[in-house]
Amino acid sequence: MNVTPAANAPERPAQPLEQPRLDLAVIAEMVAPGARVLDVGCGDGALLQLLAQKKGVDGRGVELSQRGVNECVAKGLSVIQGDADTDLSDYPDDGFDYVILSQTLQATRRPRAALANMLRIGRRAIISFPNFGYWRVRAQFAFGGRMPVTGRLDYHWHDTPNIHLCTIRDFVEIVDELGAHIERGVAFDRAGAPIRFSAPWWVWNLFGEQAVFLLERGDQRL
Amino acid sequence: MSVLSEARPACSEGFAPKTVVFPPDRPLLTDGGGRIAPLTVAYETRGTLNAARSNAILLCHALTGDQYAAGVNPVTRKPGWWEAMVGPGKPFDTDRYFLICSNVVGGCLGTTGPASINPATGKPYGVDFPVVTIRDMVRAQAMLIDHLGIETLFCVAGGSMGGMQVLQWAASYPERVFSAMPIATAAKHSAQNIAFHEVGRQAVMADPDWRSGRYQEQGVRPEKGLAVARMSAHITYLSEAALQRKFGRKLQDRSAPTFSFDADFQVENYLRYQGLAFVERFDANSYLFVTRACDYFDLAADYGGSLAMAFKDTKTRFCVVSFTSDWLYPTSDSRAIVHALNAGGASVSFVEIESDKGHDAFLLHEPMFIATTRGFLDSAANARGLAPDGTSK
């Protein structure tokens, strides 16, 4: 192919509207307008920006990578360098309305402690994570005999930051243990279509490639 | 001004800074129980104050800095100390903001300090000048800001000792500080910091020309002692990597060691030059006073030992910045500030900039630092309702 890209490139709209990552769009939809939000593991700040634009939230972020932090601050977001495992304990009780952990739970050293801290800092917590119970993951392991590598989990066993993977059923169980309840939950299949809400857990767990849960703190403190 | 110019060190004779003089009925009462009256504050401004008086930024200079953050310094004839950051189109944009920078109390570039005339004796204060603190410096700045008719500063920013003043401003006058940038700084001076300062002071006082601090009246200056103080301090402003890159073990204008105590090595020559250049522009007693002010700085101590209490319920937006190779005010010092701000529920960003240039990195052209500052100020300006031309929306 000897094509000059510029010559044949279709004319693009002046301001292409970037489609936010699927789970981010769902999370943004779960947050009440004007809320105080802490995004733990905020990366380059895409969700915080989305929340500021769509919901006018008062957002703060914590990000482990200095590169991510620098990008966020340069965008005008309030973000500090920190670690979900060690730095959440510095935050006061009820400092936020929502504490969000998107695609990060599985990379924490102590996920249960991180979740408990989130529900202490905010009355509500939103967590998105890749479902290890997804049928393709199960199939790769069961029939291929190899550690699974899928679209949501595209790392090899030796270079993955994901040290605490869980299934949707595992997650539902730990939420119960923490005395929190699930206010809303959404699971998506590979195509990004949500799984019917009325479907039983095992259907979610088998066909959901990723899930997003909105939790509310229980009455008793843990 | 004739009295003041008499009190200037020899280097700045004929130098007439822009000043405001607070008469004896408006004294500066210091933390140490001293009284400075009259008080002269020398300052510079750049840019234009908008009609709503909402676009003013106070820049706080470091230990041996001055009010000349940008443009040409009339004393040294060199560019201002924050030329990388201040000017049209730069992060501290003089087309958008009204920049104010004043010489600290205890300094020697126009603001009342130990070289000024003590009205009680008609002679220079010398070591009789009241020992001032960072909070005293901030009090004097607040008097200037009042004088300029500015209620709330859009931002207070500064590095090193300037960063301490930023923290003090945010703690003392939270409602007057819309945003704050403490850079390469700490909420308290560490034992190591105090130790280095003490070496510098002892070098000054060991110089026979110091004359117990009365050198001005005797027509001499403790130049050797002050130069040594500067040489040792200068090492702390650089990183090992930067020294290695710049000088290594390279020899100065010679191919072999001379087996003498000449400046064989380039690094020796460089430090000697730094020392000599410094004594031309700085007063030895001032050096004693400003280093002492840093040593006494411990913000938490004023708030029952809790730094978080210093910033409780603050509405100020903070951006804390540190540099990886700064061992004088390391990142852990900045983190302590961030933790305290978080605990107080403050809006805070924290960035550690990758640089091998040591503590001095905040004065140099660091692209990531510039981008961070620009991003932070832009978003703060939005929140403050400042248009890109600096007018109030």
Query: Measuring CA to CA, which residue among B375, B373, B362, B381 is closest to residue B61?
Result: B362
Q: How are the residues of chain A apportioned to helix, strand and coil, as percentages rounded to the nearest 5?
A: 35, 20, 45
ipTM score above 0.85: no
The pLDDT-based confidence of A196 (bands split at 50, 70, 90) is: confident
Contact A66 B375 (CB under 8 A): no
pLDDT of A206 > 90? The answer is yes
Contact A80 B338 (CB under 8 A): yes
The pLDDT-based confidence of B7 (bands split at 50, 70, 90) is: very low
Q: What is the pLDDT of residue B3?
A: 33
Considering chain A, what percentage of its residues have pLDDT values greater than 70? Answer: 89
Which whole number is the average pLDDT over B37-62?
Answer: 97
Q: What is the pLDDT of residue A218?
A: 86
Q: What is the pLDDT of residue B345?
A: 78
Measure A62 CA to nearest chain B CA, in Å: 9
The pLDDT-based confidence of B14 (bands split at 50, 70, 90) is: low
Mean pLDDT (chain A, rounded): 87
Q: Which residue of B has its CA nearest to A81?
A: B350
pLDDT of B232 > 50? The answer is yes
Q: Given CB atoms, is B346 within the 8 Å cutoff of chain A?
A: no
Residues of B in contact with A80 (CB under 8 A): 320, 338, 342, 348-350
Least confident of A140-144, A192-196, B148-152, B284-288: A192-196
Residues B385, B393 contacting (CB under 8 angstroms): yes
CATH topology of domain B2-189+298-384: Rossmann fold (3.40.50)
pLDDT of B53 > 90? The answer is yes
Q: Suggest the residue from A39, A70, A72 to mutate for an interface test with chain B (most B CBs closer than 10 A).
A: A70
Q: What is the pLDDT of residue A220?
A: 55
Q: What is the pLDDT of residue B236?
A: 97
pLDDT of B371 > 80? The answer is yes
For residue B11, what are its two tokens? 């280097």
3-state secondary structure chain B: CHHHHHHCCHHHCCCCCCEEEECCCCCEECCCCCEECCEEEEEEEECCCCCCCCCEEEEECCCCCCCCCCCECCCCCCECCCCCCEECCCCEECCCCEEEEECCCCCCCCCCCCCCEECCCCEECHHHCCCCCHHHHHHHHHHHHHHCCCCCECEEEEECHHHHHHHHHHHHCHHHECEEEEECCCCECCHHHHHHHHHHHHHHHHCHHHHHHCCCCCCCCCHHHHHHHHHHHHHHHCCHHHHHHHCCCCECCCCCCCCCCCCCEHHHHHHHHHHHHHHHHCCHHHHHHHHHHHHCCEHHHHHCCCHHHHCCCCCCEEEEEEECCCCCCCHHHHHHHHHHHHHCCCEEEEEEECCCCHHHHHHCCCHHHHHHHHHHHHHHHHHHCECCCCCEC
Considering chain B, what percentage of its residues have pLDDT values greater than 90? Answer: 92
Q: Where are the domains of chain B?
A: 2-189+298-384, 194-292
Contact A73 B319 (CB under 8 A): yes
Which residues, at least 6 apart from B214, have a Cβ–Cβ distance to it below 8 Å? B126, B127
Higher pLDDT, B249 or B16: B249
Contact B352 A78 (CB under 8 A): no
pLDDT of A199 > 90? The answer is no
Mean pLDDT (chain B, rounded): 94
The pLDDT-based confidence of A18 (bands split at 50, 70, 90) is: low
Q: What is the pLDDT of residue A222?
A: 45
Which whole number is the average pLDDT over B275-290?
Answer: 97
Which whole number is the average pLDDT over A117-134?
Answer: 96
Measure B371 CA to nearest chain A CA, in Å: 6
Q: Which residue of B has its CA nearest to A89?
A: B343
pLDDT of A10 > 60? The answer is no
The pLDDT-based confidence of B6 (bands split at 50, 70, 90) is: very low
Tens digit of pLDDT for each residue in A58-114? Answer: 999 999 987 899 889 888 899 998 888 988 988 888 989 999 999 999 999 999 999
Tens digit of pLDDT for each residue in B308-347? Answer: 999 989 999 999 999 999 999 999 999 999 999 988 778 9
Contact B368 A70 (CB under 8 A): yes
pLDDT of A6 > 60? The answer is no
pLDDT of B15 > 80? The answer is no
Q: Given CB atoms, is A83 within the 8 Å cutoff of chain B?
A: no
Residues A51, A57 contacting (CB under 8 angstroms): yes
Helix, coil or strand: residue B60: strand
Which whole number is the average pLDDT over B26-40?
Answer: 98
Query: Given this chain, do its domains B2-189+298-384 and B194-292 carry the same CATH topology?
Result: no
Contact A60 B347 (CB under 8 A): yes
Q: What is the pLDDT of residue B379?
A: 87
Q: Suggest the residue from A36, A39, A78, A86 to mutate for an interface test with chain B (most B CBs closer than 10 A).
A: A78
Q: Which domains does chain A have, with CATH numbers?
A: 20-216 (3.40.50.150)
pLDDT of A17 > 50? The answer is no
Of the partner residues A76, A81, A92, the one whose CB lies closest to the CB of residue B375:
A76
Contact A66 B349 (CB under 8 A): no
CATH topology of domain B194-292: Rna Polymerase Sigma Factor; Chain: A (1.10.1740)
Least confident of A22-26, B57-61, B152-156: A22-26
